[in-house]
Amino acid sequence: MPGESVVLGSDVAGAKSAGRPIVALETTIFSELGLPRPHSVQALGHVTEAVAAGGAVPALTAVIDGEIRCGLDTLDRSRICGPATKMSARDIGRAVAQKWSYGATTVSAAVTIAAAVGVEVFATGGIGGVHRNAAVTGDISADLGAIAARPVVTVTAGAKVFLDLERTVEHLETLGVPVLGWHCDEFPAFHSPTSGVGLSASVTSASEAARIARAHWELGGGGIVVACPIPDHGAINRAELDEWVEQALARTGAGDHGGADVTPAVLGALAEISGGRTVEANLVLAENNAVVAAAIAGELASDRVGS
């Protein structure tokens, strides 16, 4: 049976059998591939606490010592924030067969694991997307196809500003993924709340998002994106951000090639160039997404009890 090989954390197993809300989380952002220490440790604490404060159980996803895991409550935090191999959905089988010590999930891997065990809501910082030079390199994140394929609500602060956001939104439409702006009608640009890229739909409450998800899934639909702008206190001025992005892209040579190392390299360069400001923003938006995801998971769970 699909999902049978996934080892559930004890909190997650308890919540699942009681029908309580669960929010799946990716681990790339918390590993050394995502945020630098001590910010990763801080982000892990803030995000998991925000999910719990919202009444849901946080379910970190990863492959640990060759086992697919959903819920890492028994695992040492320093291991979660330590060295890892970036694992997208296509790599999960290899990580199991080759007994990877720590395969940190990207968005595509996390929604795949969540869907396999029936977890309906997932929170991340920002999803991958269509890279600016995709016409040359063909680099389109596997996140988009995985989101489309799995019946999971992904809560994200839009997508990273060094991507081609217009084409990212267009691609999600092509794949049939509803993109719901959270109190907004523009696709957020991760560190900045606006991008100028319009969305066709928006929601103003968790119950509205949950009702849309249920109706979508009723007809066999796949994933839904809830796009949450970064709160004002964490947002970075757009002109400043654009300048940093140009510098980061030039420094990493990301304009000339695609591949799995591009996203971590550009994020690292941005952190350095901005003197850590993009890292602080990342913390704010990840925590905010966790709060929204917990609320949506709560609505979906109460709706299940009521039906």
284 SS3 class? helix
Residue 193 in the binding site for ligand PSU (CB under 6 A): no
**Max CA distance (Å), the chain:** 54
99 is catalytic: no
Q: Is 271 helix (H, G, I), strand (E, B) or coil?
A: helix
Q: How far apart are CA 195 and CA 162, in angstroms?
A: 11
What is the token pair recorded at 78?
């320093």
Q: Which does 34 bind (CB under 5 to 8 A by kind): Mn ion, ligand PSU, none?
A: ligand PSU
CB of 8 to ligand PSU, least distance (A): 21
Site for Mn ion in 238-277 (CB under 5 A): none
Q: Which residues pair with 130 in a beta bridge?
A: 140
Binding residue for ligand PSU (CB under 6 A) from 40, 112, 141, 288? 141
Minimum distance from residue 127 beta carbon to ligand PSU (Å): 6
Asked if 269 is part of the footprint of ligand PSU (rule: CB under 6 A), the reply reads no
CB of 84 to ligand PSU, least distance (A): 11
- Tell me which stretch binds ligand PSU (CB under 6 A): 26-34, 48-56, 64-72, 181-189: 26-34
Distance CA 240, CA 58 (A): 34
91 scored as a contact of Mn ion (CB under 5 A): no
Burial of 112 (0-12, 13-18, 19+ CB in 10 A): buried
Q: State which residue, 142 or 225, has the beta carbon closest to ligand PSU.
A: 142
Among residues 16, 86, 120, 160, the one annotated as catalytic is 160
Instruction: Please tell me the distance from the alpha carbon of residue 194 to that of residue 65, in angstroms, as a whole number.
Output: 40
Active site residues per annotation: 26, 160
